[in-house]
Amino acid sequence: MSWYRNTVWFVKGLREYTRGGYESASRHFNPADVEVDVAGRSFLVTGANSGIGKATAKEIARRGGTVHLVCRNKERAEVAKEEIVTETGNQNIFLHIVDISNPKDIWKFAEKFRNEHELNVLINNAGCMVNNRELTEDGLEKNFATNTLGTYIMTTALLPLLEKAADARVVTVSSGGMLVQKLNISDLQSGNGPFDGTMVYAQNKRQQVVLTEQWAKAHRNIHFSVMHPGWADTPAVRSSMPDFYERMKNSLRTEAQGADTVLWLAVSAEATRLPSGLFFQDRQPVPTHLPLAYTHSPPEDEEKLMQMLEEFSQKFKSVSPG
């Protein structure tokens, strides 16, 4: 049934995920939802030096929020920070250099961050789509290390800080591509069979949806959400999916349009009136499975994923006091 899922997803994408889909959906947006002052609130955005992450950070900065940019590349991150400060006039922009594919890096960063800062909203935006099977220095498949394990560790490590915060939220940027994947816990690092980077990425994004649902059940004081930004014109899309970009470039959303729902989930009062753990597109909760797609997984597989990620994460956790 994979041909069915892929076909339905692509047709749905042409209708809803492009710039035209955003323009249609945005007619029903309430501008007041995001016209808010968030001065005094602290936001952490991963992958914030370009694309949707930078667009989100910039909009939060415009609204007075304290923004922590978590980026891998120091030079590009410093340029992004300067741009955000210059365009918004907000001086409360802080830069942290962390490689989200390196679990030891994340643990070390989070332990330091917990001791030095407050946090109201975590935005898990960093991600990658590596089209050939590539291992990190820790022997982890790069897509899994970044998209799934990195998101898991960053969130888990910062939960104690979020549990103490007022109106705490976690927003994870996923993808509609996850609709073509059923959770597969038997091969988390994609070592069996031929390697398809696009499908590995989609599997990671399905895993992020499951993580969000599981966290929402376990942490009632925090509002969790996961979202699809649509098909946006970002540096990541241009570099990871050049054929797709060439075919769709005239129909892709802007970075700001892709970031709109991230911002809405992070700052609006309306978002937290909806249940925790939902999947969003264009400010609306949407199903996490296509009709007749057979992508549902048994609860025990979803619980097992959490257990496996916890075991992975603990291997890289420092024994030094945090």
Number of residues in the chain: 322
Residue 157 lies in a domain: yes
Residue 8 lies in a domain: yes
- Cα distance between residue 251 and residue 185, in whole Å: 35
Q: What pLDDT is recorded for position 5?
A: 67
Q: Is 99 helix (H, G, I), strand (E, B) or coil?
A: coil
Residue 247's Cβ-count burial label (10 Å; 0-12, 13-18, 19+) is exposed
Residue 69's Cβ-count burial label (10 Å; 0-12, 13-18, 19+) is buried
**pLDDT score of 319 more than 90:** no
**pLDDT score of 1 more than 60:** no
- pLDDT tens by residue, 155-210: 999 999 999 999 999 999 999 999 999 999 999 999 999 999 999 999 999 999 99
Q: What pLDDT is recorded for position 320?
A: 47
Please give the DSSP secondary-structure letter assigned to residue 72.
S
Q: How many CA atoms lie within 13 A of 248 on its CB side?
A: 23
**pLDDT score of 11 more than 70:** no
Q: What pLDDT is recorded for position 12?
A: 62
Please give the DSSP secondary-structure letter assigned to residue 33.
G
**pLDDT score of 58 more than 50:** yes
More confidently predicted of 138 and 322: 138
Of 17, 22, 152, 201, catalytic? 201
Residue 175 lies in a domain: yes
Q: What pLDDT is recorded for position 2?
A: 67
Q: Which residue has the tokens 């250099």?
A: 97
Residue 298 lies in a domain: yes
Beta-carbon contacts of 8 under 8 Å, excluding residues fewer than 6 positions away, are 290, 291, 293
Q: What pLDDT is recorded for position 147?
A: 98
∠ Cα 59 37 52 (to 5°): 15
201 catalytically annotated: yes
- pLDDT tens by residue, 266-287: 999 999 999 999 999 999 999 9
Q: How many domains, the chain? A: 1
* Domain coverage including residue 149: 3-315
- Percent with pLDDT over 90 in the chain: 84
**pLDDT score of 321 more than 70:** no
Residue 20 lies in a domain: yes
Q: What pLDDT is recorded for position 9?
A: 54
- pLDDT tens by residue, 292-306: 888 999 999 999 999
CATH number at 93 reads 3.40.50.720
**pLDDT score of 218 more than 80:** yes
Residue 112 lies in a domain: yes
Check if the beta carbon of residue 121 is closer than 8 Å to that of residue 155. Answer: no
Q: At what angle do helices 299-315 and 103-116 cross, to 10 degrees?
A: 80
Q: What pLDDT is recorded for position 170?
A: 99
Residue 321 lies in a domain: no
Q: Decide: pTM greater than 0.85.
A: yes
Residue 322 lies in a domain: no
Q: What pLDDT is recorded for position 45?
A: 98
Dump the DSSP string for 181-225: -----S-TT--SS---HHHHHHHHHHHHHHHHHHHHHH-TTEEEE
Q: What pLDDT is recorded for position 238?
A: 75
- Cα distance between residue 60 and residue 69, in whole Å: 11
Of 67-81, 229-243, 246-260, the range with the highest mean pLDDT is 67-81
